């Protein structure tokens, strides 16, 4: 029993334990249920927040789509409409998107935009369907109910899924207002440019009078002060013209109308033209002008010569403007390029330089740097920006390196094509061109050496005048190049030692310095072409002296211009050529006069009342007599548009002169049109025998290669030198006490030189006296001291020579 009871008790406690365990588990379970309820509540809350956010997002997106004024389509990869913004529905009054949903985009285009746009948009979609980038299309569209055109800009952007195009976004934006504003701005700009062009043209006409008249007035006066004033007026006029030209170019560049007219041209004459003008700019400046022009540049190039000239001129005149002392140097070479010849023009100077921070602004329009330092230097700040545009229009560019206060190097590159590949300068038989030279300036000397080397000429550079004469006397030189102040020594040496050496004067920048020499001259600056010309014995016509090179009394010229002042200027500029000159103010009357005369050249203004130049040319060309078809007619115009020459040639003119007219243009024109048989050389015809007592002209001329011209120049030099020798003679004659050793030596060497120079010019008896004096002075200086009579006679002789030379000058 007890056992039974014991057993029951045990069972009960086991049950209790189980119950407790179950109760604990139940508790845990209830906890878990509560937790999971909480989690799911939180989850629900979270979901509802996400949902809310998504709705908000979609609502905004929808609002955006509904209200965006741009039209947006989403197309599937077969161009069916998946989605489109409300702007499209509104534009075409489509009540609901479902009407166009899933339809082919191009059908909708046809239905609403009109059939004529189907092709354009269809081919655009087709063309770019596989492009992975955005493409654009401009569409001018007119709504049926609207009169105005509207302009839309389309883009088609591919959209990708797994790297493959799955749909397209078509975006269309109306740009009508933008395009119209742009058009208006362009119109205003064109109007401004046209205004500038017209003004420039109008200003050129009165400037013709200012420049032309000052040139004529310059000829009429010997008063140096008046000459200076007139030169200033002329220079200011020319500056104004170059500013106007710059403005004209600037306006052309602005409207994208900078034309490059390609024609064949001679490179060396282009360089020569620029150098002629630069010589005038350099006058009076303490700046050395150096030119190293590669002789291998092709002789004839194809390009716009006027524009190439402008680049070279702009860079050189800047270098001269911004350099107070030192040098300005131009180097030009050409390199082979797949598109032609790459001309590299490098202009360097030792001028004021450019600050580092300013270099980036250099090529902007109207920018002038360092105004404080540049005060007093004229300029508009247009030159470099025009130069860069020109270089770029010719397939090149321009760059600059500069060190402030030290100098600058501008390098312009352009591409030109070759017409005649022969080099601009080429010398044969180089062994027979052994050259000795002396340039007092070390920079000039080394640059001259570069040029001789470039031409392949063997040479030696003397360090000073003494070495020049010494080497000349002792070596076998074919040529000697020397500056003007060595002339007498060089000529004496050549004559005394009976040398076969050909003397060549190194011309100076100012024309007056070369005046007394009429032998061979290398004109300034010394560069391959001018040096090669000297070797070939060509005399260079110095175009800058502004004087007629010939007269042509049998040449008949007729000038027609409705303005008196223009007729006056043209006639004034032509008059030094002593031609037969007729003028007329009326184009109608002019035609009658032309019929009754045989003119060799007709110059006419393009813009005239009654009948303008073009119509007059037509009338002249259609006159019955055949000769009128060929008579050279030259247009005078203030128009400087590019391609002007070609335009005139097409209209039946043969040539053109641009106003303002000047002597250079006239000289060049006459060089082109006056046939050789009608030209008379001023100098040759007018050099008479001098007939001076005591002067053996034949003997003198023998030392001048029998050229009367050179002989006259030698006589001028002789007289200049004599002035100095006489001074020593007179001073020595007046010395009462014993001469110092130094004075003695100087006196004897003076007599020696005097003997040689008198012999050279043919003053035999004076040479003999000088020789006798020299011999006796060597024995006893006092014996030679009775000099007064000799000095007086020699002085009178000198005066007679000078007077006779002057009286017989062809310029009288
Ligand atoms: P500008 O008519 O003023 O000379 P540019 O366009 O030719 O106009 O030149 C712009 C500016 O660049 C000049 O005002 C000058 O400050 C500077 N500049 C041009 N060339 C040189 C040079 N060789 N040396 C120093 N400064 C120069």
Q: Would the CA dihedral through 348, 353, 359, 362 be positive or negative?
A: negative
pLDDT: is 195 or 170 the higher one? 170
Label the pairing between strands 580-584 and 556-560: parallel
Question: Ligand 1: does its nearest atom lie under 6 Å from the Cβ of 298?
Answer: no
Contact indicator for 573, 669 with CB cutoff of 8 Å: no
- For ligand 1, what atom is nearest to the CA of residue 353? 25
Residue with tokens 């006419």: 604
Question: Are 539 and 281 a contacting pair, CB within 8 Å?
Answer: no
Best of 278, 312, 318 for a ligand 1 pocket test (most atoms within 8 Å of beta carbon): 318
Q: Report the b/e string of 458-486 with b at 16+ CB within 10 A.
A: ebbbbeebeebbebbeeeebbbbbbbbeb
381 lines ligand 1 (CB under 6 A): yes
The predicted structure's pLDDT at residue 738: 75
Confidence of residue 542 (pLDDT cuts 50, 70, 90): very low
Cβ atoms of 349 and 322 within 8 Å: the answer is yes
CA dist 662 and 212 (Å) reads 6
List all residues 6 or more positions away from 399 whose beta carbon is below 8 Å from its beta carbon. 410, 411
Whose C-alpha lies nearest to ligand 1, atom 25? 353
Alpha carbons 312 and 384: distance in angstroms, whole number: 11
Please check whether residue 265 is in contact with residue 303, taking contact to mean a CB–CB distance below 8 angstroms: yes
pLDDT of residue 684: 46
Identify the three-state secondary structure at position 493.
Answer: helix
List the structure tokens of 153: 């800009």
Contact between 363 and 280 (Cβ < 8 Å): no
Give 75-105 pLDDT, tens digit per residue: 999 999 998 888 888 888 889 889 999 999 9
pLDDT for residue 682: 65
User: 245 C-alpha to center of ligand 1: Å?
Assistant: 17
User: What ligand 1 atom has the least distance to the C-alpha of 367?
Assistant: 10
Distance CA 90, CA 573 (A): 77
Pairing of strands 435-437, 479-482: parallel
Q: With a cut of 80, say whether residue 307 has pLDDT above it.
A: yes
Half-sphere exposure of 699 (CA within 13 A, CB side): 13
Residues in the chain: 812
Q: Could you tell me where the beta strands, DSSP code E, fall in 366-427?
A: 397-403, 407-423
Count of alpha carbons within 13 Å of 605, Cβ hemisphere only? 28
What is the C-alpha to C-alpha distance for residues 97 and 123, in angstroms, rounded to an integer?
25
Task: Give distance in angstroms: CA of 411 to centre of ligand 1.
Answer: 14
* pLDDT tens figures, 288-302: 999 999 999 999 999
Tell me the pLDDT tens digit for each residue of 204-250: 778 888 888 888 888 778 777 788 788 878 877 887 887 888 877 88
Report CA-CA distances (Å) from 453 to 294, 322, 348, 459, 482. 10, 31, 21, 8, 17
Task: Answer whether residue 789 shows pLDDT above 90.
Answer: no
394 versus 490: the higher-pLDDT residue is 394
Lowest mean pLDDT among 64-73, 398-407, 509-518: 509-518
Q: How far apart are CA 506 and CA 493, in angstroms?
A: 17
365 and 388 Cβ atoms separated by less than 8 Å = no
Query: What mean pLDDT, rounded, does the chain reach?
Result: 84
pLDDT at position 513: 54
384 lines ligand 1 (CB under 6 A): yes
Summarize pLDDT for 250-299 with one digit per residue, the tens.
Answer: 877 877 777 788 888 889 878 887 887 787 778 778 899 999 999 999 99
**Does the Cβ of 374 fall within 6 Å of ligand 1?**
yes
Which residue from 289, 322, 357 has its CB within 8 A of the most atoms of ligand 1, so it is best to mutate? 322
The pLDDT assigned to 798 comes to 92
pLDDT of residue 747: 81
The CA 318 to ligand 1 mean position distance, Å, reads 6
pLDDT single digits (tens) 105-142? 999 988 888 887 888 899 999 999 999 888 888 877 76
**Beta 340-349 vs 325-337: how paired, if at all?**
antiparallel
Dihedral angle over CA of 277, 369, 285, 378, nearest 10: 60
Rounded to whole angstroms, the Cα distance separating 535 from 243 reads: 40
DSSP code per residue over 44-55: HHHHHHHHHHHH
**Residue 62 above 80 pLDDT?**
no
On the question of a cis peptide bond just before residue 660, with omega within 30 degrees of 0, the verdict is: yes
CA of 368 to the centre of ligand 1 (A): 6
β-partners of residue 173 are: 153
Which of 1-10, 52-61, 314-323 has the lowest average pLDDT? 1-10
* Least confident interval from 602-616, 684-698, 778-792: 778-792
Residue 469: partners with Cβ closer than 8 Å, 6 or more residues away:
486, 489, 490, 493
**Spacing of C-alpha 634 from chain mean position:** 26
Return the percentage of the chain with pLDDT > 90, whole number: 30
Q: Is the CB of 318 under 6 A from ligand 1?
A: yes
Q: Ramachandran region of residue 675, left (φ > 0), alpha (ψ -120 to 50) or beta?
A: beta
Provide the pLDDT for residue 685.
Answer: 44
How confident is the model at residue 183, as a pLDDT? 85
* Cis geometry, peptide bond prior to residue 525 (ω within 30 degrees of 0): yes
Nearest to 91 by CA among 103, 82, 100: 100
Tokens of 613: 């130049």
| Any atom of ligand 1 within 6 Å of the Cβ of 447 | no
**Ligand 1 site, residue 313, Cβ cutoff 6 A:** no
| The pLDDT of residue 543 | 39
pLDDT band at residue 544 using 50, 70 and 90 as cut-offs: very low
CA atoms of 46 and 38, how far apart (whole Å): 12
User: Ligand 1 within 6 A of 358 CB?
Assistant: no
pLDDT (tens digit per residue) in 136-171? 888 777 665 666 777 888 899 999 998 899 999 999
Question: pLDDT (tens digit, 9 = 90+) per residue, 22-51?
Answer: 999 999 999 989 998 998 898 888 888 888
Verdict on whether the full-model pTM lies above 0.95: no
d(CA 494, CA 469) in angstroms, rounded, equals: 9
Distance 327 CA to ligand 1 centre (A): 17
Q: How far apart are CA 167 and CA 809, in angstroms?
A: 95
- Residues whose CB falls within 8 Å of the CB of residue 617, separated by 6 or more in sequence, listed in order: 604, 633, 651, 652, 653
> Residue 603: beta bridge partners?
559, 634
The closest-lying atom of ligand 1 relative to the alpha carbon of residue 362 is 12
């Amino acid at each position: 029993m007890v056992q039974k009871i014991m057993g029951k008790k045990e069972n009960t406690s086991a049950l209790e334990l189980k119950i407790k365990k179950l109760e604990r588990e139940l508790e845990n379970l209830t906890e878990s249920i509560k937790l999971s309820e909480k989690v799911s509540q939180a989850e629900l809350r979270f979901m509802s927040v996400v949902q809310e956010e998504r709705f908000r997002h979609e609502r905004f997106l929808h609002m955006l789509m509904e209200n965006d004024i741009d039209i947006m389509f989403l197309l599937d990869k077969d161009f069916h409409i998946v989605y489109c913004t409300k702007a499209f529905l509104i534009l075409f009054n489509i009540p609901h998107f479902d009407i166009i949903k899933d339809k082919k985009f191009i059908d909708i285009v046809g239905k609403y935009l009109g059939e004529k746009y189907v092709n354009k948009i269809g081919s655009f979609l087709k063309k770019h369907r596989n492009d992975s980038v955005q493409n654009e299309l401009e569409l001018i569209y007119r709504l049926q109910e609207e009169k105005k055109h509207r302009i839309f800009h389309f883009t088609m952007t591919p959209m990708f899924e797994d790297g493959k195009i799955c749909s397209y976004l078509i975006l269309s934006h109306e740009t009508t207002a933008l395009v119209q504003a742009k058009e208006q701005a362009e119109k205003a700009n064109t109007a401004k440019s046209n205004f500038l062009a017209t003004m420039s043209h109008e200003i050129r006409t009165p400037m013709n009078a200012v420049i032309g008249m000052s040139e004529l007035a310059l000829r009429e006066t010997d008063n140096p002060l008046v000459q200076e004033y007139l030169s200033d007026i002329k220079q200011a006029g020319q500056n104004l013209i170059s500013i106007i030209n710059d403005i004209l170019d600037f306006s052309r560049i602005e409207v994208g109308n900078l034309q490059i007219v390609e024609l064949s041209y001679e490179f060396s004459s282009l360089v020569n033209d620029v150098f002629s003008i630069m010589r005038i700019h350099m006058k009076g400046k303490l700046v050395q002008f150096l030119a190293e022009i590669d002789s291998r540049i092709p002789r004839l190039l194809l390009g716009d010569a006027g524009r190439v000239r402008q680049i070279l001129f702009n860079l050189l005149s800047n270098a001269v403007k911004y350099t107070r002392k030192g040098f300005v140097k131009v180097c030009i070479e050409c390199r082979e390029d797949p598109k032609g010849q790459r001309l590299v023009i490098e202009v360097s100077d030792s001028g004021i330089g450019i600050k580092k921070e300013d270099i980036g602004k250099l090529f902007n329009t109207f920018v002038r740097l360092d105004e404080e330092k540049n005060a007093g230097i004229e300029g508009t700040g247009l030159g470099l920006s025009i130069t860069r545009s020109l270089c770029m229009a010719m397939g090149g560019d321009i760059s600059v390196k500069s060190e402030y206060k030290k100098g600058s190097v501008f390098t312009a590159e352009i591409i030109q094509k070759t017409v005649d590949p022969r080099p601009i300068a080429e010398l044969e038989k180089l062994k027979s061109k052994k050259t000795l030279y002396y340039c007092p300036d070390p920079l000039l000397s080394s640059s001259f050496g570069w040029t001789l080397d470039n031409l392949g000429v063997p040479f030696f550079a003397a360090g000073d005048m003494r070495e020049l004469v010494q080497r000349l006397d002792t070596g076998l030189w074919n040529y000697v190049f020397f500056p003007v102040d060595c002339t007498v020594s060089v000529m004496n040496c050549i004559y005394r030692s009976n040398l076969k050496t050909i003397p060549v004067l190194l011309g100076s920048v100012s024309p007056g310095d070369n005046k007394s020499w009429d032998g061979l001259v290398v004109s300034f600056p010394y560069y391959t072409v001018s040096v090669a010309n000297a070797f070939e014995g060509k005399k260079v016509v110095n175009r800058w002296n502004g004087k007629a090179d010939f007269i042509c009394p049998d040449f008949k010229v007729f000038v027609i211009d409705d303005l008196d002042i223009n007729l006056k200027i043209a006639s004034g500029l032509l008059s030094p050529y002593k031609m037969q000159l007729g003028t007329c103010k009326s184009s109608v009357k002019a035609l009658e006069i032309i019929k009754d005369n045989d003119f060799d050249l007709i110059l006419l203004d393009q813009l005239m009342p009654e009948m303008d130049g073009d119509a007059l040319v037509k009338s002249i060309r259609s006159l019955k007599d055949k000769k009128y078809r060929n008579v050279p007619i030259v247009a005078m115009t203030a128009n400087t548009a590019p391609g002007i020459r070609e335009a005139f040639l097409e209209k039946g003119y043969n040539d053109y002169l641009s106003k303002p007219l000047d002597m250079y243009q006239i000289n060049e024109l006459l060089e082109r049109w006056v046939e050789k048989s009608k030209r008379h050389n001023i100098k040759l015809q007018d050099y008479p025998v001098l007939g001076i007592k005591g002067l053996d002209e034949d003997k003198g001329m023998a030392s001048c290669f029998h050229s009367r011209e050179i002989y006259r120049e030698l006589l001028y030099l002789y007289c200049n030198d004599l002035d100095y020798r006489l001074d020593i003679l007179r001073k020595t004659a007046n010395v009462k006490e014993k001469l110092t050793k130094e004075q003695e030596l100087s006196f004897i060497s003076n007599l020696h030189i005097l003997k040689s120079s008198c012999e050279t010019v043919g003053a035999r008896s004076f040479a003999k006296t000088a020789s006798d004096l020299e011999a006796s002075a060597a024995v006893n200086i006092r014996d030679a001291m009775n000099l007064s009579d000799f000095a007086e006679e020699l002085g009178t002789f000198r005066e007679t020579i000078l007077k006779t030379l002057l009286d017989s000058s062809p310029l009288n």
